[in-house]
Structure 1
Amino acid sequence: MTRPVVALSRRLPAAAARLLDGAADVRTPDVDRPLTAAELRTAVAGADALVCLLLDRVDEALLDAAGPQLRVVATVAVGYDNVDVEACRRRGVRVTNTPGVLTDATADLTLALLLGITRRVGEGERLLRAGTPWRWDLDFLLGTGLRGQQLGLVGFGAIGRAVAARAAAFGMSITYSARHDAPADVTGPLGARRLPLPELLASSDVVSLHCPLTPETHHLVDAAALRAMPSSAHLVNTARGPVVDEAALVDALDHGEIRGAALDVFEEEPAVHPGLLARDDVLLTPHLGSATEQTREAMAVLAARNVLAVLAGQDPPTPVV
């Protein structure tokens, strides 16, 4: 019996690779870098399944190159803005993602960024590494404490709620902006209040982004949104880079419209707006939200299980389409 063919856009952790190897012929790239669009089209030609990463664009051209036998696209990420979902739907191709397994890791990093920017951790480390003379003083590198501050969460899904629970433990009050009220058993223990986005922006000491990237959320945080925030506020983004207009953010920081920002994702990733790189009021990390050994392995294993379920004619654990 002919085994199905699974194309990978990158090498997977061993546990996920073993799962796929046991049931399919796996095409693994022989280069340790993201494939170009042309290379990916070649790799997927004739495959029954594709396991891809968030940098891989799954569009009409790729689906055409794959052929009509393609049954599933499994992206190793919770977001799937890199996949043309409607094009897959029209072809009967299942699309899956990997939610849930990265919630804690991303929420942990969000708190690390929140603490890092409000307490000026990056600024202090750079000062020491540069050998700059310093001494302890009452007004040296003063940051802001979290207790009694308002956290405004834009998006209140699993990651937003996990961030809320962590921030509440630091004494922050929790507000959120979402299409619908969250269940009372979630909001009650946190004292979380739903606010319209304009009110949330205007009243929050820290605004943290946890919404998916869609046409509606592209540049959701633009010049007007930044002007609406208090001049003492901080912005944190661990969602998707294009949710923030980076040029507008640089301008807002230049004019003191907000106090600082901490970003794990970027508008033209992996490039970063040059106006952000030399600032002490910005903390930057290179898309580390899910970057723990346990989480990345769990994401890859879940993607593999999604693929195997579809190839076996079953519903995948985490279907998008």
Structure 2
Amino acid sequence: MKLLIVEPLEAEIMQWLESRHEVRFAPELALDPRALRQALYNVRAMIAPPSAPVDAQTLHSAPLLRAIGRVSAGLENIDLDACARAGVEVVRSLTATAQAEAEFMIGALLSMLRRVPVVGTDGLLVGRELGSATVGLIGMPPAARSMSALLAAFGSKVVGYDPSLHASDGVWERWKVQPLPLRELLERCDAVCVQLSYFSRYHGLLGERFLPHCKPNQVIVCTAHSGLFDDAALARELAGGRIAAAWFDSLEPGALDPGRPLAGISTLQVTPCVASTTRESRLRSAWAVARRIDELIAAAPATPREFRPTEPGVPTDLADGPASP
């Protein structure tokens, strides 16, 4: 069998793949790791949801496997090092969800700026307009480009920080974002969008060193890994009012449990990873993954592979393409 599909896909994409390859659709395997391993023995490619773990044991059970597709955002439960050693390509689109994430962040900013009032010059509690705000982008993934365009339409001033991009990098000018050091960005911005890719070296980056310097009444929306923040420092600034409100699209498990720093803070809102998941973004992502999987099945020989030592690979960044082949 060439292709195992564990994650439900749009009917038109399923029909396209079935017209080109031998396909098994088995969503029930997502919750049964043992059955999944057994099913992978003669499979050359798989499209799997975040709930289906792919580790070294799974890969050893799949000697013909050449590619793993991920339509949903993130790479949860995929051992990238093991995939690299096994020569298995992890296929996903890094651009398909950009517009969805940008729209989510715009909506969150509008809600917080209007819903959490500040004291006006006349002493009254009032909301604020996004068009009059300076907005900081921490991290410059594809969604940052969409954010810059949307914010420009509102009339907002846009600044940014990304530790992986030098201030002279051409991306700043192309995306119309002014680069700033992190502390200066926090000091100047009325609103901040955090979308920085998470690595262990960035754990707690937004903590005691930087958060006390946030502009008073700042609002923050975060679609990145919440480990970028130090819980205690964030809780202190939210409780003290320097940060007027924060909206996280996910939090690490247990972060809101009784006794934890963020427990019971009314100006913190959390949503369950909905920023990147829309009907349109899933369709874009699914087509991109399906096209690449099709290419890999056609190109790869149906012979057992050998595990090899190598550096961890980088998941394929699939360029935007048409909505259908």
TM-score by length of 1: 0.78
Aligned equivalents of 1:172, 1:7: Cα separation in 2: 46
Structure 1 residues not aligned, in runs of 5+? 124-137
Select 1:63's aligned residue among 59, 66, 75: 59
CA shift digits 1:277-301 (9 cap, x unpaired): 8654233332222332222122112
Query: Equivalent pairs: percent with the same residue?
Result: 27
Deviation at 1:312, TM superposition (A): 0.8
| Structure 2 CA distance for partners of 1:227 and 1:26, relative to 1, 3 Å | farther
In the alignment, the residues of structure 1 paired with residue 35 and residue 232 of structure 2 have an alpha-carbon distance, to the nearest angstrom, of: 32
Change in CA separation of 1:280 and 1:183 when aligned onto 2, cut-off 3 Å: same
Q: CA shift at 1:167, angstroms?
A: 1.5
Cα pair 1:148 1:172 within 8 Å, conserved: yes
Which residue pairs with 1:256 in the alignment? 241
Residue 273 in structure 1 maps to residue 256 in structure 2: yes
**Aligned partner of 1:311: which letter?**
I
Between the aligned partners of 2:105 and 2:112, the Cα distance in structure 1 is 11
1:199-257 CA distance string (max 9 Å, x none): 22333221211222222334433344433323311111123343344565334322334
| Residues in 2 aligned to 1:301 and 1:204: alpha-carbon distance in whole angstroms | 38
Indicate conservation of the 8 Å contact 2:256/2:264, yes or no: no
2:33 matches 1:48: no
Residue aligning to 1:238: 223
Cα offsets for 1:14-73 (capped at 9, x unmatched): 122222222333333354x952544544454442112123454432233223x2211001
Aligned to 2:161: 177
- Please tell me whether the aligned partners of residues 113 and 283 of structure 1 are also in contact (alpha carbons under 8 angstroms): no
SS of the aligned residue for 1:11 comes to: coil
Equivalence map 1:184-263=2 (5 Å): 184=170, 187=173, 190=176, 192-246=177-231, 248-263=233-248
Q: Which runs of 5+ in 2 are unaligned?
A: 118-122, 301-314, 319-325
| Matched residue, 1:311 | 297
Tell me, yes or no, if structure 1 residue 23 matches structure 2 residue 9: no
**Cα drift, residue 148 of structure 1:** 3.4
Q: Does structure 2 conserve the Cα–Cα contact (< 8 Å) formed by 1:47 and 1:70?
A: yes
Residues 90-99 or 11-20, more deviating: 11-20
Aligned-pair CA distance for 1:81: 5.7
**Structure 1 residue 176: Cα displacement:** 0.9
Per the alignment, do residues 7 and 252 of structure 1 end up closer, same or farther by CA in structure 2, a change over 3 Å counting?
A: farther
Query: What secondary structure sits across from 2:7 in the alignment?
Result: coil
Match of 1:145 in 2: 129
Q: Distance in 2 between matches of 1:165 and 1:182?
A: 20
How many residues get paired?
A: 294
Residue 85 of structure 1: aligned partner: 80
Do 2:136 and 2:193's aligned partners in 1 also have CA atoms closer than 8 Å? yes
User: 1:14 is matched with which residue?
Assistant: 11
Please name the residue that 1:72 is paired with: 67
Q: AA paired with 2:9? A: L
1:299 aligns with 2:285: yes
Give CA deviations for 1:87-123 in whole Å, capped at 9, x if unaligned.
Answer: 21211111211122221121111101111111118x9
TM-score, length-normalised on structure 2?
A: 0.77
2:106 matches 1:111: yes
Which deviates more from structure 2 when the two are superposed, residues 242-251 or residues 16-25? 242-251
Structure 2 letter corresponding to 1:307: I
> Structure 1 residues 226, 15: CA separation in 2 closer, same or farther (over 3 Å shift)?
farther
